[in-house]
Amino acid sequence: MKYYSTNGNAPLASLRHAVVRGLAEDRGLYMPEHIHRLPDEFYADMASMSFHDIAYNVASAFFGEDIDLDVLHDLVRDTLSFPIPLVPVSDRIFSLELFHGPTLAFKDVGARFMARLLSFFIRQNPVADATVNVLVATSGDTGSAVANGFLGVPGIRVFVLYPKGKVSPIQECQFTTLGRNITAVEVDGTFDDCQRLVKSAFMDDTLNHHLQLTSANSINVARFLPQAFYYFWAVAQLRALRPDVSLGQIVIAVPSGNFGNICAGLFGRRMGLPVGRFIAANNANDVFFQYLRSGTYSPRASVQTIANAMDVGDPSNFARILDLYGQSHEAICCDISGATFSDGQIGETMRRCLRETGYQLDPHGACGYGALCDGLRDSEVGIFLETAHPAKFKDTVERICETSVGIPARLEAFMQGTKKSVPMSARFEDFQAFLLAQSDV
């Protein structure tokens, strides 16, 4: 499989090159040349298959041409060492709980797979890829998932850039207390500033001369493509729980920030995944919602909300969605509808869900649940992605819902560590100088 750039001005790349480099030379995002449809027999058998077997079939369609299948099987099995259950919330709405991994967030899947794949490539050619430097911008959960996925991996250093004062204290603990090969960089700015610094670093000739750089954000194909695994698993579980539901009736609502998550679901749909449509659920950072309404994409500075992992004003993966649909606004609107929620609406959705169903939402999952409550048609059954454990936003959830949220033991362990971070301005010159200093370490 070859990978091309969404900007169309970079050479075709191998999987290895696309993963190690992260961003194409023309600043575009890599896309696979082909999206293979899985056979009908796979879909007929899916409800009786294990999560590992389903994920391995999906991974084979993406990566099987470039990685030995036994190695790929081990990568998938090692990545998915935790459950992802589909939990009924009401008769027609189900929660896909993506918070049972090491950092209690959905990004554990993509981050763990990428860490293992990149490590595999480094072991294949340790001289050429000596010390790969992973740069990742985070608005919350990406930083912890990537940092923990790569922690202690030989030949890799990770730099996590996060906006000062704009991630929850528990999220911050998960990547600032690790040490070893993980460095937290506290940027005096927004997530968009962090993302800009990372993208600028990839395009800087001086940095690339001295350092081997790659990204672990969803701009990297090895980060976002594996997230398709759990969409297939969600549908398989739903078919087992509700065999009466016809496949075209399934709607999946995705809390959306940088749009890597829903993009993986759309790739799954192109592979034949029987989902009728998707709902992109935004908080107040609703540039995609406005695009669906107007056909005009107008990125803007992000604003801070209680669903902070979705505080993105210029989502990178919008370029992939445009490319996937041939730039057609009409085609995008056929498969994706939108929803947007203010902080007040998110809070009310959390309270209502807890009161009526007993299910505790986090602020991000609340956007997905609210989108289904508002937009599910009579014949449809909905799945929303509960992307993080409510305890990661303990103060916010307890204040809004007036209830106590227990902290899982593995999350409590992060909070016992000592914060270590490097303060950084939003100026690229300062970040460049910092990275150059690391080349001598």
Task: Spell out where 307-403 has E strands.
Answer: 336-340, 381-386
CB 82 within 8 Å of CB 194: no
Written as one string, the DSSP assignment of 381-415 is EEEEEE-B-GGGGHHHHHHHHTS--PPPHHHHHHH
Q: Lowest-confidence range among 46-55, 90-99, 140-149, 225-234? A: 140-149
Residue 346 tokens read as 């998110």
Backbone angles phi, psi at 188, to 5 degrees: -80, 80
Q: Is the pLDDT of residue 141 over 80?
A: no
Task: Specify the CATH number for the domain of residue 250.
Answer: 3.40.50.1100
pLDDT at 119 over 90: no
124, pLDDT greater than 90: no
Whether residue 59 is contained in a domain is answered as no
- 36 part of a folded domain: no
For the chain, how big is the Rg over CA atoms in Å?
A: 20
Q: What is the pLDDT of residue 176?
A: 94
Residue with tokens 């999946």: 252
Number of domains in the chain: 1
Is 382 within the bounds of a domain?
A: yes
First and final C-alpha spacing in the chain: 36
Q: Is residue 126 part of a domain?
A: no
Compute the average pLDDT of residues 102-125: 89
- Name the band, by pLDDT with cuts 50, 70 and 90, for residue 415: confident
pLDDT in tens, 306-340: 998 899 999 999 999 999 999 999 999 999 999 99
pLDDT at 125 over 80: no
Residue 150 CA: distances (Å) to CA of 110, 115, 159, 335, 419: 12, 5, 11, 35, 18
Q: Compute how many other C-beta atoms are within 10 angstroms of the C-beta atom of residue 418.
A: 8
User: Does 58 score more than 80 pLDDT?
Assistant: yes
CA of residue 112 relative to chain centroid, distance? 12
Model confidence band, residue 155 (pLDDT cutoffs 50, 70, 90): confident
Query: What confidence tier does 128 reach under pLDDT thresholds 50, 70, 90?
Result: low
Residue 25 and residue 414: Cα distance in Å, rounded?
Answer: 37
Most confident of 108-112, 171-175, 367-371: 367-371
Which range marks the domain in which residue 238 is found?
84-104+224-408
**Got the DSSP string for 67-128?**
S-HHHHHHHHHHH--S---EEESSSSEEEEE---STTSBTHHHHHHHHHHHHHHHHHHSTTT
pLDDT over 90, % of the chain: 77
Query: Mean pLDDT over residues 391-412, rounded?
Result: 92
Give the type of residue at 362.
D
Any idea which residue has 């200093």 for tokens? 437
Helix (H, G, I), strand (E, B) or coil at 130: coil
CA distance 72 to 2: 18
Could you say which DSSP state residue 426 is in? S
Mean pLDDT of the chain: 93
Is there a contact between 92 and 376 (Cβ–Cβ < 8 Å)? yes
Tell whether 387 is covered by a domain.
yes
Residue 271, in any domain of the structure: yes
Domain membership flag for residue 135: no
Question: Residue 355: is its pLDDT beyond 80?
Answer: yes
189 in a structural domain: no
- pLDDT tens per residue across span 262-283: 999 999 999 999 999 999 999 9
Residues 6+ apart with CB under 8 A from 179: 420
Could you list the beta-strand ranges (E) of 198-341: 212-215, 250-255, 277-282, 336-340
